[in-house]
Amino acid sequence: MSLLSDRSRSFPSDFVWGSATASYQIEGAAQEDGRGPSIWDTFSHTPGKVEGGDTGDVADDHYHRYVEDLDHIKGLGLDAYRFSIAWPRVQPGGAGALNDKGVDFYKRLLDGLLERGVRPVATLYHWDLPQELEDAGGWPVRDTALRFADYATAIVGALGDRVHTWTTFNEPYCTAYLGYASGVHAPGRTNGADALAAVHHLNLAHGLAGRIVRDLAPTAELSVTLNLAVIRPASDSAEDAAAVRKLDNIANGAFLGPMLEGKYPADLLTQTAHVTDWAFVQDGDLATARVPIDVLGINYYSTILAGHWDGTGERQQADGHGDSAATPWVGVDDVNFLLQPGPYTAMGWNIEPQGMTDLLLRISREYPDQPMMITENGAAFDDEVSPDGRVHDPLRVDYLYRHIDAVGAAMEAGADVRGYFLWSLLDNFEWAYGYSKRFGIIRVDYNTLERTWKDSAIWYSKLIATDQLPDVTSAAE
Ligand code: IFM
């Protein structure tokens, strides 16, 4: 029973309730209808990279079952659905003409959403880079940003009028740092200088593509989704405050700065001078990166606890994401990542709804005119199917209640938050964790691919219908 269950928060009637997925995590059909290979196909097929040797070859088979999934979307009452377009499906190889069959899939998906009265929010890039572009250097090379602009021109031209909101990138932090620094994500490289070059080319690509969206789809909204970090200091000391500032520059300022202000935080350049000279930043790039967006997408799951490491004793590297072996942070060898107090989700991430409120209020303080949306929030837990065939997931319901309540608290304190997208609609391929972690509010049986609403789905549909937080026990009734 949640401590919060005795009160109920309401949301404005125009607040957008959504749910989110991503192409490689749900589509499957990895070799069908002309789709080319992505870095995630290569990575997941490389032994030892993904838990259980899982791949996205079949995933949720959404490519074939999208009509059923559209009906679930409608059944839940979602106002909006956030999905991503697989670049290698629509432009195999990352260059040249579009693949009609791939584009047709997204046209059918979009038409299905529009017929059901659901607002489509399309992300251009959720991590599945065409393998050929990685072979040519990947995000650390400038040409990838130019290829991305070409892809954006082609796909926005083909789909533009059907999409309500175009999102350039999902979590460029992960693309750059997990892909090129810690190597726990595709393409699995481990070079700090490459990671910072990737940061810059992602910022540049965001600006280029954003301008293309503005030109080709003038009535659409433009956004980008960042997984902004909430970093707590280990103590009140000046050293710990400095450690937090360093991390903040890497995780947040490296993207917020260029995209919203047209500049990198000055400290970021100095604190990483031993890693790179930033010579890849060319004149005009930062002006390009800053393109006005209608809504800033924010993904929030948990917090980070950091402190200064003086070089003595063992360095602590619990990075708040349950992954102590390979920290993605670049050039911060003097920082300790401390184990957070629980409770935790099945990912080992600490549950801290207050972080959601704090983050939204921080962004509204720093960027007062920038509307925001929570584009991802949710939790993996070890769900079980009950003998009655249902999935009772009270921990997830409680997590959602507390975090959505925390969004409401931020709004009450003045934050301009326009909507909330729950991660995720379906259980799916959780990257390096394969299918071992279930984030969905709809369970997917990976043997039969059957979909079953969990209690959290029932609970969320009640919230959507009433714009009011239902009691946490109501779904299990
Ligand atoms: O599954 C991911 C998603 O692809 C990006 N944001 C975080 C989710 C949970 O790890």
**Both tokens assigned to 66:** 């999208």
pLDDT of residue 319: 57
> Which ligand 1 atom minimizes the distance to the CA of 227?
6
3-class secondary structure, 84: strand
> Which ligand 1 atom minimizes the distance to the CA of 170?
5
Contacts of 107 (CB under 8 A, 6+ apart): 158, 159, 162
What angle separates helix 100-115 from helix 62-76, to the nearest 10 degrees? 20
- Distance of alpha carbon 376 from alpha carbon 298, whole angstroms: 7
- Distance of alpha carbon 239 from alpha carbon 144, whole angstroms: 38
Distances from the Cα of 198 to the Cα of 67, 82, 143, angstroms: 36, 25, 11
> Which ligand 1 atom minimizes the distance to the CA of 127?
4
Contacts of 137 (CB under 8 A, 6+ apart): 143, 144
Q: Are residues 443 and 385 in contact, defined by beta-carbon separation less than 8 angstroms? A: yes
Q: Give me the active site residues, please.
A: 171, 376
| Å from CA of 430 to ligand 1 middle | 7
Closest CA to 429 of 155, 38, 33: 38
**Both tokens assigned to 372:** 């925001």
Q: Are residues 452 and 445 in contact, defined by beta-carbon separation less than 8 angstroms? A: yes
Contacts of 398 (CB under 8 A, 6+ apart): 2, 472
> Which ligand 1 atom minimizes the distance to the CA of 378?
9
Closest CA to 338 of 303, 305, 301: 305
Q: Are residues 463 and 471 in contact, defined by beta-carbon separation less than 8 angstroms? A: no
- Distance of alpha carbon 448 from alpha carbon 316, whole angstroms: 42
The conformation of residue 316, written as its DSSP 8-state character, comes to P
| Å from CA of 311 to ligand 1 middle | 33
- Burial of 185-214, coded b for 16+ CB within 10 Å and e otherwise, reads bbbbbebbbbbbbbbbbbbbbbbbbbebbe
pLDDT of residue 40: 98
Whose C-alpha lies nearest to ligand 1, atom 1?
Answer: 430
pLDDT of residue 477: 65
The conformation of residue 37, written as its DSSP 8-state character, comes to P
| Å from CA of 461 to ligand 1 middle | 22
Closest CA to 255 of 303, 201, 219, 300: 201
Distances from the Cα of 461 to the Cα of 28, 52, 117, 424, angstroms: 27, 33, 16, 14
| Å from CA of 236 to ligand 1 middle | 32
Whose C-alpha lies nearest to ligand 1, atom 4?
Answer: 22
Q: Where exactly are the structural domains of the chain?
A: 16-476
Angle among Cα 385, 389, 394 to the nearest 5 degrees reads: 50
Contacts of 341 (CB under 8 A, 6+ apart): 350
- Residues with CB under 6 Å of ligand 1 are 22, 25, 171, 299, 376, 423, 430, 439
Whose C-alpha lies nearest to ligand 1, atom 2?
Answer: 430
pLDDT of residue 437: 98
> Which ligand 1 atom minimizes the distance to the CA of 347?
10
Q: Where are the beta strands (DSSP E) in 126-220?
A: 165-170
| Positions of the chain with pLDDT under 50 | 1-5, 320-325
Q: What is the CATH number of domain 16-476?
A: 3.20.20.80
pLDDT of residue 265: 98
pLDDT of residue 314: 85
**Burial of 339 per CB tally in 10 Å (0-12, 13-18, 19+):** middle
Which of 83, 170, 430 is the best mutation target for the ligand 1 pocket, counting ligand atoms within 8 Å of the beta carbon and taking the most? 430
| Å from CA of 225 to ligand 1 middle | 12
Q: Write the single-letter amino acid at 226.
A: L
Whose C-alpha lies nearest to ligand 1, atom 10?
Answer: 430
- Distance of alpha carbon 343 from alpha carbon 27, whole angstroms: 32
Parallel/antiparallel/unpaired status of strands 295-299 and 231-233 = unpaired
Q: Where are the alpha helices (DSSP H) in 93-191?
A: 100-115, 131-135, 142-159, 172-173, 179-180
| Å from CA of 427 to ligand 1 middle | 11
